């Protein structure tokens, strides 16, 4: 969850500088993702919709990645030993 939040906040901040229509849609989608993450009940492991809400967050993350033309799966490249997106 923290990784998704950091990703969303960073891109939201970067896109605030551009105000065209395409970026406006991306900013709204990022805002929605940030809102979903902020409402997620971190301290309640007995929350009955935990998996359902987590899947919604993952789905929104994938949608935002698609809008930003970024691969949504994180892979480690063993030869280069670096994180790729």
> 33-44 burial, b if ≥16 CB within 10 A, otherwise e?
bbebbeebeeee
Instruction: Report the pLDDT value the prediction gives residue 7, as an integer from 0 to 100.
Output: 95
Ranges of the chain with pLDDT below 70: 74-85
Q: Is the entire prediction scored with pTM above 0.85?
A: no
Instruction: Report the pLDDT value the prediction gives residue 72, as an integer from 0 to 100.
Output: 76
Instruction: Report the pLDDT value the prediction gives residue 32, as an integer from 0 to 100.
Output: 96
Q: How far apart are CA 36 and CA 53, in angstroms?
A: 8
């Amino acid at each position: 969850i923290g990784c998704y939040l950091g990703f969303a906040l960073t891109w939201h901040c970067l896109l605030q500088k551009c105000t065209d229509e395409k970026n406006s849609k991306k900013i709204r989608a990022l805002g929605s993702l940030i809102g979903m993450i902020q409402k997620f009940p971190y301290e309640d492991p007995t929350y009955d919709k935990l998996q359902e809400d987590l899947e919604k967050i993952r789905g929104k993350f994938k949608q935002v990645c698609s809008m930003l033309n970024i691969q949504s799966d994180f892979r480690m490249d063993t030869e280069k030993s670096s994180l790729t997106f």
